[in-house]
Amino acid sequence: MSYVELHPVNPQARLIDRVVGVLREGGLIALPTDSGYALACLMGNKSGIDRIRQIRKLDDKHNYSLLCDAFSRLGDLVIMDNSQFRAMKATTPGPYTFILPGTKEVPRMTLNKKKHTIGVRIPDHRVVQSLLAALGQPLVASSLILPGEDQVMSDGFEVDDKIGSLVDLVVVAPVGGDEATSVIDYTDGVGRVARHGAGDTSLWE
């Protein structure tokens, strides 16, 4: 079986442990978030990141995201000023991805090669939060949008049918929404809406 089905409110601890085990062994998973499905692996997992790139047909300019369980973890991962801190704090957890310069704690392979940036986000989703809490570290992730498509996948069983053979495990549970995150790009210091998705972006417009 290439998937596990988790309870959306009280995820089963034994299944969370199974997912954690797959990740710690270098696996790539597909998991539900508050804004559709995402592909995810551990931060230093080069083969996992390569597999994400292959599945999605991404180029070197793509900004991966780090899924985090708490806002307090962001300071170790990205460089942000006070105004950025306040705006991000006010809108998390939620369906937003923020692109910022990465710190030395983020593996170089994960950063944008030219700009040395990385996306960070704190999903408002019980299954993801339970998984991140059990794992004790962020996950590298990318929205599960298949080549030729413009919508993020949102049904776990459909994900398993289409790419179950390309990942090590599909986590099946309801998504919080079927629209991709809104992307706020702070590369140049000022927040710019790089993608309108789920979540109110009026703060940056």
The pLDDT tens digits of the residues spanning 139-174 come to 999 999 999 998 999 999 999 999 999 999 999 999
Give the type of residue at 102.
G
Q: What value does the mean pLDDT take over residues 178-198? A: 94
Q: What angle do CA 38, 42, 45 make, to 5 degrees?
A: 110
Q: What value does the mean pLDDT take over residues 116-137? A: 96
The pLDDT tens digits of the residues spanning 12-64 come to 999 999 999 999 999 999 999 999 999 999 999 999 999 999 999 998 778 89
Specify the residue for token string 């000023």: 81
Of the chain, the percentage scoring pLDDT greater than 90 comes to 93
Give bridge partners of residue 39 from the DSSP assignment. Answer: 30, 142
Give the containing element (helix H, strand E) for 143.
Answer: strand 139-143
Higher pLDDT residue, 199 or 60? Answer: 199
